[in-house]
Homo-oligomer: A and B are copies of this chain.
Amino acid sequence: MSPRTPPGKTRDQIFRFVRDRLLDGFPPTVREIQDAFGFRAVQTVQAHLERLVTEGRLAKQKGKARGYTLPTGTPERPATFFVPLLGRVQAGDLNAAIEDCEGYVAVQQRGTELSRTRLPQEGSSAHHHHSPSQGALFALRVRGESMTGAGILPDDTVIVRSQPTADSGDIVVALIGDEATVKTLRIQRNQIILQPENPAFDPIIPEPDTCTILGKVIEIRRYL
């Protein structure tokens, strides 16, 4: 029999082990934990895991292999999913651009977008299509210096939530003619103004029906 450890200490180490494995994307089995700690009985591990669950530090799916997870919805591990990084957006055809994207970017669910939570159980249905419907996310590389005043530099990546309208003051991606552009949206007297955040650029007041709002920028990233 292995030497006794102070109450709670082994359990704490087990928790970290499991947590690390979960963050690595590969949940451990009870026997893997057993081996890692050198226990000679599975039950030892299960007792610890059971307590970790009752303490709320872990969640489990009964009977499932590798069924331990971090409790859902905790800031410890927000849901993560992939959004397509679009190369160029041609006139209106967002669907095509999404099908034919440059790659995918990992985005984490944030507090305000609880609506589109995707639980592991729901999964993706078999014939699920990426669609730029209301609420879908995509990523876009920024061109030009028109938004430097808002801390958006050329070559930054913006994460965009598709929506046909936005509030005044939101940073949006709009399609003017054939080109997608990032600007601050201003609405004055029912008129749409696309406002650059750089004194060297002039506001754009698009003719009606020549401008489509693709969505609202919800995140900005820069890779150095």
Size category of the A interface is 35 or more
**Nearest-Cβ distance from residue A194 to partner chain B, whole angstroms:** 17
CA gap between A94 and B26 in the complex, in Å? 26
Copies of this polypeptide in the complex: 2
Q: Give chain B residues whose Cβ lies under 8 Å from the Cβ of A38.
A: 126
Check if A192 is an interface residue, CB within 8 A of chain B. Answer: no
Check if A1 is an interface residue, CB within 8 A of chain B. Answer: no
Task: Report the stretch among A46-54, A103-111, A173-181, A201-209 that lies at the interface.
Answer: A103-111
**Nearest-Cβ distance from residue A57 to partner chain B, whole angstroms:** 13
Residues of A within 8 A of B (CB): 13, 16-17, 19-29, 32, 36-38, 65-66, 69-70, 74-82, 102-108, 110, 118, 120, 123-128, 130, 148, 151-153, 156, 171, 217-224
